[in-house]
Amino acid sequence: MNRNDNQEVNDRSAVVVQVRESLVLVQFDEHTSVKKNEVGYVCVGDERLKAEVLRIRGRVADMQVFEDTTGVRVGDRVEMTGDMLSATLGPGLLGRVFDGLQNPLHELADQHGFFLPRGVSAPPLDLQKEWQFTPCVSVGSRVPPGGVLGTVPEGSFIHKILVPFGEPEPAVVTWIGEGNYTLNDPVARIEVKGVEREVTMVQPWPVRRPIPALLLRRQYAERMYAQEPLTTGTRIIDTFFPIADGGTGCIPGPFGAGKTVLQSTIARYATVDIVIAVACGERAGEVVETITLYPETEDPRTGGTLMDRTIIICNTSSMPVAAREASIYMGVTLAEYYRQMGLKVLLIADSTSRWAQAMRETSGRMEEIPGEEAFPAYLDSSVKSVYERAGTIRCADGSQGSLTMIGTVSPAGGNFEEPVTQSTLGTVKTFLGLSYDRAYKRFYPAIDPLVSWSRYFDQLSPWLSKNLAPNWLDDVRQLQTLLQKGDAINQMMQVTGEEGITLEDYVTWQKSVLVDMAYLQQDAFDEVDAFMPRDRQLESLRLLKSIVYQNYDFKSRDEARDYFTKVTGTYKNWNYSASGTPDYERLKSEIEELKSSMSVRTEQANLT
């Protein structure tokens, strides 16, 4: 091609000078201005392969191609767009399945079949659908960036149409509409610094730039201190290792330990409005299961399906590795968008290890100085930059939104000392470590109570003391101490046998087993036990505490074993019984009777 044939193309184009798998080096002339994270398209025949600028050195740029680069040759033309890698934000996102570049996978499958050719794309939103727009402001109103212009219904939610986040100062509304509009139709006109322009219901936003950051500097939004816990309905999390609403957590664990099942349970029952699931590099079979399961799963909050308030971003292990990294940022940006509307959003990422591996591959091709285990030296800062986008904010209209982020980590061999896990642990404030041994014993969730932790207790203590119990934290710490003692006694028994410990230590161990089996374990497939509200958790914890902190006068280990086995079995059956039912009351009475019978015996022994 003669590059002088078209001056317009010459101003925004470059040529490939080197190809390193998914990384291509492109050269542009001195009149072309290229910026980092700008999107371009590598032209291979009729195919246009989407790519992103990662590094610029003089007139040469390193571009990461999000497709297979087979057939890309030196001299191929690259069309630069001038736009950053961005998410399209607007009504119609809920219930959709996208890839890491926000291409709607169902629509692409309908057009091209299940094996997608490279270079294909589709608009992320339905541009022909009409939405009922209701204005919230009038002509002459001054609305800050991120402020509400109007609303449209989106499922069971009110979707707020916001002033574009990138405006440098509050906008003056010069015209605003009302009625049915498509996403391309203007719904308002605003004036900023004397310049008037139209506003539609859709706006783009660069995925690598946090949405709240721009607002915070101009004080149109306020970052809040998270003070309430996220209720997941999983007892071991809510009681022993709470996550703040707007906080961060991670679930590291070896293959087969139940990370995906635990995340799905949290997504279904957590007290949030919107769920965004990012499947980053996981096996295609697991992603297909998620895509098919969510539309069939009843949502306990709305009565519809879980998919009605969910967005799925997926880049499976069989899809281009380069797009894995983009999928994390795409999911976070969509989550921030709904948080700006005053909604509670949960982002679950499975797994950030695959994302870090994609960064490692790209870093290696760019010949950067490697860090530990060949991960890039900036791995730690990259992990922090993602998790730091979680949080609670007070929006421009006074509403309060939150973004809670929970990521899974898949360390090789379950080694928590590897770089990705360690970088994540240095960032998040709740660590839910899954144990292979507990998973092998069919414990669910396989969260190890002896290695897991939460740094939110001090932050959440006022809420927990006011809404649950004044001594909630003391009760939890006492039970954690009991579990630690029980584990130490169990390790001793592995060497000496039951006869090698005292009867008192044996009873302590049985108490710890009761706490583990009756409270820490749940049945994810039972309609009642899969989710336990906080009021019942408090009731259960009080009853359990009255049992384990009672003095006993057992005559033998067999007697102690029989007693605690009976209590554990009855307690687990009580967990399966819905509150207020006859079975619920009957089983609770049986537990109370077992406790009372032993209490009477203890009192008689003391009198003797």
Binding residues for ATP: 253-260
Please tell me the distance from the alpha carbon of residue 430 to that of residue 435, in angstroms, as a whole number: 16
Please tell me the distance from the alpha carbon of residue 438 to that of residue 589, in angstroms, as a whole number: 31
- Is residue 294 within 8 A of residue 305, CB to CB? The reply is yes
Annotated binding-site ranges: 253-260
Q: Which residues share a beta bridge with 249?
A: 406
CA 471 centroid distance within chain: 31
Complete edge-to-edge strand list for the sheet that includes strand 171-176: 142-143, 171-176, 188-192, 195-199
Residues 6+ apart with CB under 8 A from 151: 133, 134, 136, 158, 159, 160, 161
Q: Which residues share a beta bridge with 43?
A: 48
Secondary structure letter of residue 240 according to DSSP: I
Please tell me the distance from the alpha carbon of residue 526 to that of residue 572, in angstroms, as a whole number: 12
Task: For 142, list phi and psi in degrees, rounded to 5.
Answer: -100, 120
Identify the CA nearest to 134 among candidates 180, 77, 178, 186. Answer: 178
Mode of pairing for the β-strands spanning 274-280 and 344-350: parallel
Identify the CA nearest to 402 among candidates 272, 597, 302. Answer: 272
Residue 445: cis peptide before it, omega within 30 degrees of 0: yes
- Is residue 84 within 8 A of residue 208, CB to CB? The reply is yes
Please tell me the distance from the alpha carbon of residue 21 to that of residue 25, in angstroms, as a whole number: 11
Structure tokens at 566: 């009976």
Structure tokens at 359: 């960064």
